[in-house]
């Protein structure tokens, strides 16, 4: 099956710093989702980004489907950005179940 790897596994930032999280996938996909799991365990949908670039406030994401990776950019990080960031891609069969990446655990300190 498709493999989804994320890097780095852990990241510690000072408030105000910028960061880039990476998601690599082993097979072609027709869409990709980024999630933020907050300290309460909720999965917050950040982006649905099959290809190209999208921006939402301080966050933006780029997917280069032909090269099988996606990047999530966090600018001017805040303590509330802390948590785990997951990318997920659908298995291109049947009903498109999502395969989640290994996650990047982000800690933003004040």
- Residues forming contacts to other proteins in the complex (CB under 8 A) are 30-31, 33, 35, 41-43, 45, 48, 86, 88, 90, 94-103
The token duo for 76 is 């001017």
The minimum distance between CB 82 and other proteins, in angstroms, equals 16
Q: In 3-state terms, what secondary structure has residue 81?
A: helix
The token duo for 105 is 């655990």
47 near 23, Cβ under 8 Å?
A: no
> Which C-beta is closer to other proteins: that of 17 or that of 91?
91
The token duo for 99 is 């395969």
> Which C-beta is closer to other proteins: that of 9 or that of 16?
9
> Which C-beta is closer to other proteins: that of 73 or that of 90?
90
């Amino acid at each position: 099956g498709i493999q989804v790897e994320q890097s780095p596994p852990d990241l510690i930032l000072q408030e105000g710093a910028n960061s880039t999280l990476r998601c690599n996938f082993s097979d072609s996909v027709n869409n990709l989702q980024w999630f933020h799991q907050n300290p309460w365990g909720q999965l917050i949908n950040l982006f649905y980004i099959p290809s190209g670039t999208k921006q939402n406030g301080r966050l933006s994401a780029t997917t280069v489907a032909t090269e099988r990776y996606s990047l999530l950019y966090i600018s001017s990080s805040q303590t509330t950005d802390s948590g785990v960031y997951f990318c997920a891609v659908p298995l291109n069969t049947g009903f498109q179940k999502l395969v989640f990446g290994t996650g990047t655990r982000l800690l933003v300190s004040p």
